[in-house]
Chains A and B, each alone.
Chain A
């Protein structure tokens, strides 16, 4: 079953709107959660979250993690057409020694209309 679930799968908004993207997870040994943005090319890194309740912020984007409820949100305020992309959430599932696995969700496709 899916270990990292993102919602919604797709979203259409207008410029200036604020959006919240969700990522819930269920892994054995959580170590970190990462957000990526993917336009028509390779994913690019946005944030890495390891501690609950500490907001990471970069311009109009912000993200926070809740390790008790096992989810994270990515907020984008005052959206622009350039924010249109697939947003990927990934969780680092550590299972001993130096081994681990980065598990991705299916992504949220965000479309921002002018």
Chain B
């Protein structure tokens, strides 16, 4: 089954304790992205990756890191989490190709990770 998986689905942690949220897709998509969703603010892009070893900042990258060593995986790393990073996080992938005429096409979203930082 074509899907995007995220782990963990729920996480409660404390300030400063490094954590990683994994994201994996089995559709051979080039493009992957991380979003956070907060009440009243909607979905905001954290980082995205056009392909292996190619990553770029989205709208709210502060406090986050990502890596794209393999096409299927795009982990989100919080080196020193803080309470303002409490949020619902979504990973997404798309078969987007590069070029002026291309587009996002359909993005497939993972099930979400609800993170609470105390």
Known: A42-B109, A99-B56. A107 touches B42 (CB 8 A): yes
Q: Are A92 and B42 in contact (CB under 8 A)?
A: no
Interface residues of B in 27-76 (CB under 8 A from A): 33, 35, 40-45, 48, 50, 56, 58-59
Known: A42-B90, A97-B98, A101-B59. A106 touches B40 (CB 8 A): yes
Q: Across the interface, which residues of A come within 8 angstroms of B35, CB to CB?
A: 104
Q: Quick check: which of B10-18, B78-86, B100-108 contacts chain A, the rest being far away?
A: B100-108
Q: In terms of DSSP, what is the predominant structure of the interface of chain B? A: loop
Known: A42-B109, A97-B98. A106 touches B90 (CB 8 A): no
- A-B contact count, CB below 8 Å? 62
User: Within the complex, what minimum Cβ distance (angstroms) separates A93 from chain B?
Assistant: 11
Q: Are A41 and B111 in contact (CB under 8 A)?
A: yes
Confirm or deny: A44 has a beta carbon within 8 angstroms of a beta carbon on chain B: yes
CA gap between A97 and B57 in the complex, in Å? 15
Q: Across the interface, which residues of A come within 8 angstroms of B41, CB to CB?
A: 106
User: Within the complex, what minimum Cβ distance (angstroms) separates A32 from chain B?
Assistant: 4
Q: Count how many chain A residues have C-beta atoms less than 8 Å from C-beta atoms of the other chain.
A: 25
Q: Across the interface, which residues of A come within 8 angstroms of B40, CB to CB?
A: 106
- Name the contact of A101 in the complex, choosing from B45, B103, B109, B111 (C-beta under 8 A): B45
Residues of chain A at the chain B interface (Cβ within 8 Å): 31-32, 34, 41-45, 48, 50, 88, 90, 92, 94, 97-107
Residues of chain B at the chain A interface (Cβ within 8 Å): 33, 35, 40-45, 48, 50, 56, 58-59, 90, 98-100, 102-112
